[in-house]
């Protein structure tokens, strides 16, 4: 079944686009990383089946959501908080990849009543040098459109990216002979820079169950830091996909979905609520 495309006005006034993947399971809010959009979780939503009803917003400045004047951490967290409140489905499981993972654990720390459990995909509580050698990818001046999807892919790869597939998930046909990206490269610099810092207090600031998913070949989350995350925060499990890089949900589709499903099955009340009534999205 195709996801339902909807929009929601955040408390700050801008519109957020989101996908409701439907189903009768408990709500799971999935937050993409920098350069992404809610559609990157399409396969995961299908693989989870009736375990969860996935809601995947395009975060500010991404996908079909509005651009905003700022991209600091507070803005992303408050967007997520207003979205979850709008769902009206009680505390929800929040999954976040990369930048979305930082938003997820900051949301749990700052709004604990909104989050019942966390799934953090390949991001740590420290995003700065020397812990992360390259926390920001310099994308200033990168190509924003081309005559075809393939041409846009080649132009991005010429900038030194071996595989443009993740970026191309945000490419759309904008007319005859014109493909464009749904984000602005300069704004993505601001998004990345806003995500750099030491967020240990936020990581340790919540007590809900958590799963850290680590890509064994990731360049953004080391094995040592992933182990430390699990060791220092009670109620945290660690799962590693040995051959995956930073984008585990793309590199290890079945493994990641299986790890998420198993974690959901271990949460109190999740099995009992699978067949419960499904509500709509946020009040608009």
pLDDT per residue over 140-158, tens digit each? 999 999 999 999 999 999 9
Instruction: Write b or e for each residue in 40-64: b if 16 or more Cβ atoms lie within 10 A of its Cβ, otherwise e.
Output: bbbebbebbeebbbbbbbbbbbbbb
Average pLDDT, the chain: 93
What pLDDT sits at residue 284? 54
Domains and CATH numbers, the chain: 4-131+197-266 (3.40.50.1820)
For residue 7, the cross-strand partners are 17
Q: Contact 3/22 with Cβ under 8 angstroms? A: yes
User: pLDDT tens for residues 232-272?
Assistant: 999 999 999 999 999 999 999 999 999 999 999 999 877 54
How far apart, in whole angstroms, are the C-alpha atoms of residue 15 and residue 57? 11
Q: What is the pTM of this model?
A: 0.94
What pLDDT sits at residue 23? 84
């Amino acid at each position: 079944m195709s996801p339902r495309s909807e929009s929601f006005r955040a408390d700050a006034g801008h519109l957020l686009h989101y996908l409701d993947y439907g189903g009768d399971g408990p709500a799971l809010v999935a937050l993409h990383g920098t350069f992404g959009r809610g559609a990157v979780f399409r396969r995961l939503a299908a693989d989870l089946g009736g375990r969860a009803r996935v809601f995947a917003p395009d975060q500010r400045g991404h996908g079909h959501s509005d651009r905003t004047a700022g991209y600091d951490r507070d803005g992303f967290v408050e967007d997520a908080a207003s979205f979850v409140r709008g769902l009206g489905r009680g505390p929800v499981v929040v999954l976040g990849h990369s930048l979305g993972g930082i938003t997820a654990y900051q949301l749990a720390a700052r709004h604990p009543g909104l989050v019942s459990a966390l799934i953090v995909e390949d991001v740590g509580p420290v995003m700065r040098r020397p812990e992360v050698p390259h926390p920001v990818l310099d994308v200033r001046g990168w190509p924003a459109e081309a005559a075809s999807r393939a041409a846009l892919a080649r132009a991005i790869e010429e900038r030194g990216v071996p595989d443009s597939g993740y970026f191309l998930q945000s490419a759309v046909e904008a007319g005859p002979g014109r493909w464009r990206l749904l984000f602005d490269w300069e704004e993505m610099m601001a998004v990345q820079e806003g995500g750099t810092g030491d967020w240990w207090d936020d990581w340790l600031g919540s007590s809900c169950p958590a799963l850290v998913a680590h890509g064994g070949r990731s360049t953004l989350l080391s094995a040592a830091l992933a182990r430390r995350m699990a060791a220092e925060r009670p109620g945290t499990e660690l799962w590693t996909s040995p051959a995956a890089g930073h984008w585990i949900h793309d590199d290890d589709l079945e493994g990641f979905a299986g790890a998420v499903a198993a974690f959901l099955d271990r949460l109190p009340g999740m099995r009992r609520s699978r067949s419960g009534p499904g509500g709509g999205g946020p009040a608009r």
